[in-house]
Amino acid sequence: TSENKGDFITMKVKYEDRQKQKVIAITTDTIVVGVDIAKNYQWARFVDFRGIEHDRALKFKNSRGGFETILARIREICKKENFAKAVVGMEPTGHYWKAFANWLEKQDGIKVVLVNPYATKQAKELDDNSQTKSDKKDALTIAKLVKDGRYFELYLPHDVYAELRGLSTTRTGLNKRKNALKNTITAVMDEYFPEYEEVFKCPLSGKASRHILKTCPFPKFILELGEDGVTDEIKKAVKKTVGRKKAAQLIETAKESIGVDYGEEAAGLKLRLMLEELELLEKQTEELEGQMADALHQTDYADFLLSIKGIGIVTLAACLGELGDPTRFEDSRQMSRMAGYNLVEDSSGKNKSGTKISKRGRKNLRCVLYQMALTMVATNDEMKQLYHYLKTREKAPLRKMQALIVVSKKILALIHTLAKKKENYDPGKVFGHVRREQMKAAA
């Protein structure tokens, strides 16, 4: 759409300006160091602003002694070749880079930057026209990308945002493990008692269902207990009058089950162990989300951002954990780019393509924003109005997912504005005059 094209052109101009500034920052008195990170040993290469290599490649250990070795080499080259400053570039792959970057950041005269691993992969054949990959070669590729300004600034939060990021990452891991367990439990029940969901529509959400799954999950065990025995088991979990009714329903369903009738003891044990693990993970998640709420309220912006109707404590904490301090961004478009919402196109000559999001950003941030957008289009009047307008406008209406992405970007804009201005949410200021007139005309 023309609206998306406008955003694309604006972001392209801003990107080119930032790119120019990065190139200008690498001056004649700058030594650029490219480092290829690994678990045990790193390789470093040293180039000037023209890409000419200085001194020999250095292999150093991933330890304090190794860090001091490369720092000494950088100091030596600077003194010998009259370089006034040093820029060290590395790829943010895995987690091994963090200790080295954190240590370097504390050294005087050293600037640490990061290079996109995808850029390294694409550029590694430029010098020798060979697909050969080695740590030594990659270090030189990284150094040359940095001297061309193809890097981004390092951000290592050392305050409450570091806590939020750690908690958010842990919560993501817990949720993945819970989902994996739920899928495996469902698979076991589909094999041994596929009709179980006819009795309990949401097998893992109710206390009675979970207790049955632990004690008598399959037709063999249910029929052995009989209606009275199953009723007693249900009453151990919930004290309701529906126990006998559910027991009778289970008995009738078990009699007609097409589930397999072998290995029930082993499958039952597996099921019980998985349910116990799931309950432990749910308890850990509850504790973790409590800590996320405490950490969120230690930020300077919690009250302002929570004034946005539809934003929850846990999702906001997870969002700030991924973003860091929102006021460090000059514009909310930078936050959108970090999430991978920046628009890209594939056009050549007379062939003009549409635009789409790049998805080259924080996947977890996009997931959190998607959850926030889903909630807000249901509970926030302004976001609901925007969502409806985007899907139903006469010119270039958007599909559901496209509209949710626009809402997600609007959420980022709100977070950035309210944090910068330290103001509470005001429905009257959400949209500018043009957008209000567009939605009014479409209503």
Instruction: Please give the average pLDDT of every successive group of 10 residues along the chain, which has 443 residues.
Output: 49 65 92 94 95 94 95 96 95 90 93 91 75 83 94 89 95 96 97 95 91 95 94 86 84 95 96 97 97 95 95 96 93 92 71 76 93 95 94 91 95 96 94 88 77
| DSSP label of 120 | H
Q: CA-CA-CA-CA torsion for 178, 180, 184, 189, nearest 10 degrees? A: 50
Q: Which of 6, 19, 7 is nearest to 413 (CA)?
A: 7
Given CA atoms 314, 319, 324, 330 in this order, what sign does their dihedral have? negative
Nearest in space to 192 (alpha carbons), one of 293, 302, 266 = 266
What CA–CA distance (Å, rounded) separates 157 from 251?
A: 57
**Sign of the torsion formed by the C-alpha atoms of 386, 391, 392 and 393:** positive
Rounded to two decimals, the pTM is 0.82
CA atoms within 13 A on the CB side of 377: 20
In whole angstroms, give the CA distance from residue 298 to residue 317.
11
Phi, psi angles (nearest 5°) of residue 33: -115, 120
**What phi and psi, each to the nearest 5 degrees, are found at residue 392?**
-115, 0
Helix axes 363-379, 400-421, angle to 10 degrees: 90
- Cα(341)–Cα(160) distance, integer angstroms: 26
The answer to whether the beta carbons of residues 34 and 151 sit under 8 Å apart is: no
Separation between Cα atoms, residue 368 and residue 24, nearest integer Å: 36
The whole-number pLDDT of residue 99 equals 93
C-alpha distances (whole Å) from 193 to each of 199, 228, 255, 267, 354 are 11, 20, 11, 11, 48
**Among residues 152, 116, 120, which one has the least CA distance to residue 139?**
120
Q: How many residues does the chain have?
A: 443
385: left (phi over 0), alpha (psi -120 to 50) or beta: alpha
Residue 62: name the closest of 100, 12, 18 by CA.
Answer: 100
**Tokens, residue 190:** 């589909």
Give 168-223 as a DSSP string: HHHHHHHHHHHHHHHHHHHHHHHHH-TTHHHH-SSTTTSHHHHHHHHH--SHHHHH
pLDDT, position 349 = 58
